[in-house]
Amino acid sequence: MYERSLLATLKARVAEPRRFIQVIVGPRQVGKTTLLTQLTDALSETETATYARQSKTLVVSISADAVSTSGIGWLDQVWEDTRTKLRLTGCDEALLCVDEVQKVARWSESVKKNWDLDTKEHRPIKVILSGSSRLLIQDGLTESLTGRFESHYLGHWSYNEMAEAFGLSPEQYAWFGGYPGAVGLIDDEPRFKSYVTAAIIETSLNRDIFLMTKIDKPALLRNVFELGTAYSGQILSLTKMLGQLQDAGNTTTLARYLHLLDQAGLLAGLQAASSRPVAARASSPKYQTHNMALYSASRSDLFASTRANSPAWGRVVESAVGAHLIAQTRMMLNTSLEYWREGEKEVDFVVRQGDTMVGLEVKSVPGSSHVQGLTAFEKRFPQARTLLVGGAALSWEDFLRTDLPHLLAAMS
């Protein structure tokens, strides 16, 4: 089974003395549960190897995905059962893994109480929590667990991962995206689209947003997702977006719904790069899907016909590069993804990391040299670097293989 890089990090954290709660956040269907299973299986193998030394770890792994109405008592009971089993088995320590923890009402209060009690009584219970709703997890962590946790973001699968695990080509990845559970269906596109819609889009909306957050106009949020996904890679003001939506609202409501969709790993609204934060916040968002499977599932056209349509394929390539950048920047500290536009001049994406600023223009046609936007961007931000993705030096296919931190280091 393919192992994502975060697994090695978690193994190292679990091997350390009890210090922090480990928290894994990320969208649905990216492998959080599989990651926990791989970790617990690895610990079971270690137990067998070290049994003669009587050094064993009790592993308790449980999911809260089906207990969304449970109160704080459910998690308290799970924790107490773990303590009891630890005493009965005589193991040296325990590892408690709770998947989809945000489904438990007041989960952060329970975690804080039980973690602090174990700390006070020197009880060797290590804890890993995971959840699909990044917004709800983060709220709970900042409200109750400050100083007690380390957070890890498990994002959508990169092209390198999908190519190594499943043999996808860059063109297939640009259209079908990076959901491992859906990759076996790409030869049957109607079935692929149906699976992505039901298992990912609808589940994320209904269980990670509607069920867990107060939404006054659920139809409007759904329309924001559908329209924003259709416009992935394009700039559209919230005011103009309102004019295309069936359910009336206001720009503040749209901005909030767009933020929720972003935190659920579905759709982002990129801000314009500016030296003035107020101007950036007031800019029209550039819509960007987090995973190209969401884009292709929402369209009636198929891979072959889109690939043969140069303008349509160009939009797919730009969105695929944007999805790659979102996945990369979400795992980097002090890094943001934006775009830039002044008048008719535009740069597709701008990556900021501290004082480093890189403008990227995406061209799907090999040898393209249309760089007017990059030239204007360089004049506006003299200290910035620029990169033409799809030019003679770096194809878009090679860019999807590129590790962004290494790229930024090479350009600094």
Nearest residue to 221 (alpha-carbon basis) of 198, 193, 189, 245: 245
pTM of the prediction? 0.89
Buried residues in 245-280 as b, exposed as e (16+ CB within 10 A)? beeebeeebbebbbebbbbbbbbbbbbbbbeeeeee
Return averaged pLDDT per consecutive 10 residues of the chain, 412 residues in all: 94 95 92 92 62 66 72 87 94 93 85 95 95 69 82 94 97 97 97 97 89 84 92 83 68 88 94 71 85 96 95 95 95 92 93 92 71 91 93 90 91 80
**pLDDT tens column, 263-275:** 899 999 999 998 6
**pLDDT tens column, 125-139:** 999 999 876 666 776
Q: Which two tokens stand for residue 278?
A: 């107020």
CA distance 29 to 24: 13
For 5-153, the fitting CATH number among 1.10.3720.10, 3.40.50.300, 3.30.1330.10, 3.40.50.800 is 3.40.50.300
Residue 379: what pLDDT?
A: 93
Residues 6+ apart with CB under 8 A from 295: 177, 229, 232, 289, 316, 319
Q: Give the start-to-end residue ranges of the domains of the chain.
A: 5-153, 159-411
Q: Which two tokens stand for residue 113?
A: 């109480």
CA distance 177 to 174: 6
Nearest residue to 347 (alpha-carbon basis) of 361, 365, 337: 361
Place of tokens 């939009």: 315
Residues 6+ apart with CB under 8 A from 100: 63, 64, 65, 130, 131, 132
Place of tokens 């994502």: 4
Residue 55: what pLDDT?
A: 53
